[in-house]
Amino acid sequence: MANPTGQRVDPGVLRTWGTELLRKLGVPVNQAELVMDSLIDADLRGTYSHGSRLLVTYAPRVRAGHLASDTKVTVVRDVGAMALLDGGLGFGQIAAYQAVDLAAEKALTAGVAVVAVRETTHFGALGYFTARAARRGLLAIAAQNGPPMVPAFGGVTPLFATNPFSYAAPVANQDPLIFDIATTAVAGNKLQQVLARGETTIPNGWMTDREGRPTRDTLAATQGFLQWAGGHKGYGLGLLVETLAGVLADAPFGTAEHTRSPVSGRGRLAKGGTFVAIDPSVLLPEGVFAERMEALLAEVRSSVPAAGVDRVMAPGDLERELRDEQLRQGICLELSTVEQLSSLAVDLGVRTLQTA
């Protein structure tokens, strides 16, 4: 949903302004534009935790020399339908673009492909990249790990991040089906948004305190841990992400600091990620998979709703509707986000972001 209170910003204005800000940080213009495209897409879809507010996080990392302003992605290993890339500890979006495009090219040749990335940083919203492959007619899966913040189910020793997972599939005559989640109950940035708004409570099921007891107290939550989505089931998926994006990608995993980066522990910037791409036309005639996905989703959306439910939706429906609305009316950014971005602009000597 759109932010109930906030300020509207034209997507094009925000993209141009954000690109200018990244350029001030030394990011090459082509890379700055790619990063902003992914952030704007997240904002448009209501995933504000992974949108333009991340510029406030990226800037100090670049200025401290921990996040490379000019991302250099290199090939570590490339064998058949598989490859391993090194993200150069630069912007994760740039590494993700190259990884998913390479996976797509390989899948269109071999039928299926796996491309992993080590020494990368936050990709942003994974669904942006799986959708990129789906628009080429491919079924795509992505996973990324991160710093140790979340314990194994039933524990209080931080080992994992929110470990996001995404898939996307082509659908005839409509946008791709996009599923993009943290395997924890919410993304870690959600708590940061609550703190920025000065709220003293959080919803049930988000977090525990430091002893592992569920809490709604924001302050206690800052000393505690995110909960797994669905308890042990979310934990199992999170462990799969750690396996794919950490162990398989030759990246940090658990508490193992398997990185060149000097930033370690809970603040670790280095992450791993893995993309899988599958060409359905190897198993089915050209276009049949997308047509059958269209039929499947039509059944989903025409399902009889349960009591108290207006309609049954497929993953990504709400986000797509919000995107269309915000493309017309402007992105509704939280006041705290606008204030943080304005402060950053002053600090970097960039013009103030213009809101409606």
Phi, psi of 174 (to 5 degrees): -160, 175
Q: Spelled out in words, what is the top-level CATH class assigned to the domain 80-184+228-315?
A: alpha beta
pLDDT of residue 2: 52
Q: What is the pLDDT of residues 24-75, one digit of tens each?
A: 999 999 999 999 999 999 999 999 999 999 999 999 999 999 999 999 999 9
Contact between residue 59 and residue 236 where contact means Cβ atoms under 8 Å apart: no
Give residue 1's pLDDT: 52
Residue 191: per-residue pLDDT: 82
Residue 174 neighbours by CB distance under 10 Å: 14
Strand stretches in the chain, DSSP E: 7-9, 74-79, 82-86, 112-120, 139-144, 150-151, 158-160, 165-169, 177-181, 207-208, 214-215, 225-226, 271-278, 331-333
For residue 188, the model assigns a pLDDT of 76
CA distance 87 to 119: 5
CB 72 within 8 A of CB 88: yes
Query: Which segments of 245-316 does DSSP mark as H helices, in order?
Result: 288-301
How high is the pLDDT of residue 197? Answer: 83
DSSP strand pairing (158-160 vs 207-208): unpaired
**Beta-bridge partner residues of 327:** none
Residues in Cβ contact with 279 at an 8 Å cutoff, skipping those fewer than 6 apart: 107, 108, 111, 112, 137, 138
Which residues of the chain fall short of a pLDDT of 70?
1-5
Lookup: tokens for 266? 């809970």
Predicted TM-score (pTM) of the model is 0.94
- Structure tokens belonging to residue 138: 């491919």
pLDDT in tens, 175-214: 999 999 999 998 877 887 788 888 999 999 999 999 999 9
Amino acid found at 226? L
Contacts of residue 32, defined as CB under 8 A and 6 or more positions apart, other chains included, come to: 18, 19, 22, 23
Query: Per 3-state DSSP, what percentage of the chain is helix, strand, and coil (rounded to 5)?
Result: 40, 20, 40
CATH number of 1-72+316-356: 1.10.1530.10
Domain-wise residue ranges, the chain: 1-72+316-356, 80-184+228-315
pLDDT for 3: 56
